[in-house]
Structure 1
Amino acid sequence: MDYKLEVAVIPVSDVDRSVHFYRALGWRFDAEFADDEGYRLVQLTPPGSPASIIFGSGVTDAEPGSTQGLHLIVDDVVAARADLAERGVEVSEVFHDKTGVFHHAGTAGRVEGPDPERRTYSSFASFSDPDGNGWVLQEVTTRLPGRV
């Protein structure tokens, strides 16, 4: 049995502002559904991703901005960071973790610059949406065995 992660639900306070933010990143606008009772759902997908995000009104009880650590996998974290900055996003400088492995929560353990050996899975940059939902760019150049 395959279990494929398809959608991440993120809590936002202003649906239209969030639509504008994610579309400005170049994300594909997939769908929008609403009813007369205030329920509204919007789905967008990052370029090249098989998984999407959903947000809206009445979609989640989570506090806006409470989702952290969503990872966007990129081939070149330096180029991806530059792309986001050119789109007006406040994005961190590229960093790696002091352990040389996965990054710590928040900004603890960050070392400036990409991983010195540019090892796959080891270089990052981070940004947040207007509500504070946290995203991490992670550079992956060679997948671990069994990963596609």
Structure 2
Amino acid sequence: MDIKLELIGVPVTDIDRAKAFYERVGFHADHDVTVSEAIRFVQMTPPGSACSIAFGKGITEMPPGSLDNMQVVVDDIEQAHAELTDRGVDVGAIDDQPWGSFVYFTDPDGNRWAVQQKTPRDQ
């Protein structure tokens, strides 16, 4: 049996602000549908990913900013750091660990993200 993780709800306060932020990070806007007054569904996917995020109105009961340690993986952490910085995303310095190299950022609501290169830069 295959079990595929394909969608993760991200709790946000301002849908349009979140959409603009994730577009700046590089995510593609797949859907932005207002179903009713109670439901607006926005789905966005990082380039090359089989898993998307969703946010909007009536999507999740988690408090905005409560997601911690969402992680995406890249082949080149230096390139990712440079591109995110060029796009105006506030990322920290590259953090080299024995299990990979990382940069971190938060969305406007405080949901925390890690970008990982699986192999440390010094290997």
TM-score (norm 2): 0.91
What SS does structure 2 have at the residue aligned with 1:124? Answer: strand
Displacement of 1:38 in angstroms is 2.6
Instruction: Report the CA distance between 1:22 and its aligned residue.
Output: 0.8
What is the number of residues matched between the two proteins?
119
Aligned identity (percent) is 45
Q: Give, as a single letter, the amino acid of the residue that structure 1 aligns with 2:77.
A: V
Q: Which has the larger radius of gyration?
A: 1
Amino acid of the structure 1 residue aligned with 2:92: S
Q: What do you get for the CA RMSD once the two structures are aligned?
A: 1.2
Q: Which residue of 1 aligns with 2:64?
A: 64
Instruction: Return the letter of the residue paired with 1:135.
Output: W
Cα distance in structure 2, aligned partners of 1:61 and 1:70 = 18
Q: After TM superposition, what 4+ stretches of structure 1 lie above 2 angstroms from structure 2?
A: 35-38
Structure 1, unpaired ranges of 5+ = 102-121, 142-148
Cα distance in structure 1, aligned partners of 2:26 and 2:103: 18
The structure carrying a bigger strand percent of its residues is 2
Q: CA deviation at 1:44?
A: 0.4
How big is the shift at 1:36?
3.1
One-letter amino acid of the counterpart of residue 7, structure 1: L
Task: Give CA-to-partner distance per residue, 1:68-126, whole Å, 9 cap, x none.
Answer: 111110001111011000000100110024xx34xxxxxxxxxxxxxxxxxxxx11110
**Separation in 1 of the partners of 2:43 and 2:81?**
23
